[in-house]
A = this chain, B = another copy of it.
């Protein structure tokens, strides 16, 4: 059902299936529910690259002993508003929500709270973690480093992940402002779409391994690298590189995780480098209590005004495309998919079927 090449499944069925998969792999009931919730939110919000499409990759890393399905989290409160979490080889899908809860507790008492996470694996969508702050009348913040794919400005070597930054800000009658952006010019998901369609890439997304521009949609797979936001020297590639570096330093260096080229790969067929400087990969999460700065209701009234004014930005002559508030396309996808179901591309659909067969699960997802 749905668009050609896609099968649409119901949220609840998919959620129950994914939960059962994690349970079968040894996750606790609570952790399986959380991990499933993070993946489902990605699929609901239309971030298909970070949803159940990742599931088979996670399972291979669990089977290879590179993701610990049953971790013993060690949270160390080193300051009143800062803690360090050793995620015990677990995965960001569960370590980051755990850390974010601790950050929100500190924030409730002191106005802000921060947790650096080491010894972790893939984060899931950054927005899940930051958005946990919203219901607490807080601004949420999250970032993670990731397998190296992006070159620094002026370089030609994979040194940084697509290292996202997420900031989630509550509003009043309007929906929240949710900025969740990779610090590369183009995210991996866009390359996958171009490759599937056999379409040439725009200049400024990918560089080949010799440092030359590459418009082949398979250029990254052929040993090339992604370019930082800004793409080239004239358009501010040093800024995208600077942002990605900031994320790497906060997620890796500050937490005691790995950083730069040492961040472990997400795929089981690539091994981590020898002599790693840290443990696993790292994340950084935290929150600010809005009422620390000004009255919450005054703030949200002005956020509504901000959103309304920006939605009504003048657009170029002849354009019918309005200015978009960060987080809006994802929220609209969520509203639609919540009722209409989640469209799974054929390869992912088959992947899930295979998982179901291999694990001999009773739960179906269609």
Contacts and interface: CB of A to CB of B under 8 A. Distances in A.
Contact of A234 (B202, B242, B306): B202
Given A112-B114, A177-B249, A323-B154, A254 B293 contact: yes
Contact of A315 (B211, B230, B292, B324): B211
A181 interface: yes
A289 B243 contact: no
A175 interface: no
A321 B243 contact: no
Contacts of A183: 239
Interface in A131-162: 139, 151-157, 159
Nearest to A169: B249
Given A202-B234, A306-B253, A324-B153, A111 B111 contact: no
A111, A157, A179 — which one has the most chain B CB atoms within 10 A of its CB? A111
A172 to B, nearest CB: 11
Most-contacted residue by chain B among A78, A185, A211, A230 (CB, 10 A)? A230
A186 interface: yes
How many of chain A's residues touch chain B, expressed as a range? Answer: 35 or more
Given A154-B322, A156-B314, A229-B229, A245 B293 contact: no
Contacts of A182: 239
Contacts of A254: 139, 290, 293-294, 299
B302 A242 contact: no
A152 B310 contact: yes
Interface in A178-208: 179, 181-183, 185-186, 202, 204-205, 207
A310 B245 CA distance: 10
A169 to B, nearest CB: 6
Interface of A: 78-84, 109-112, 114, 116, 139, 151-157, 159, 167, 169, 177, 179, 181-183, 185-186, 202, 204-205, 207, 210-212, 229-231, 234-236, 238-240, 242-243, 245-246, 248-249, 252-256, 259-261, 277-278, 288-294, 298-299, 302-303, 305-306, 309-310, 313-317, 319, 321-324, 326
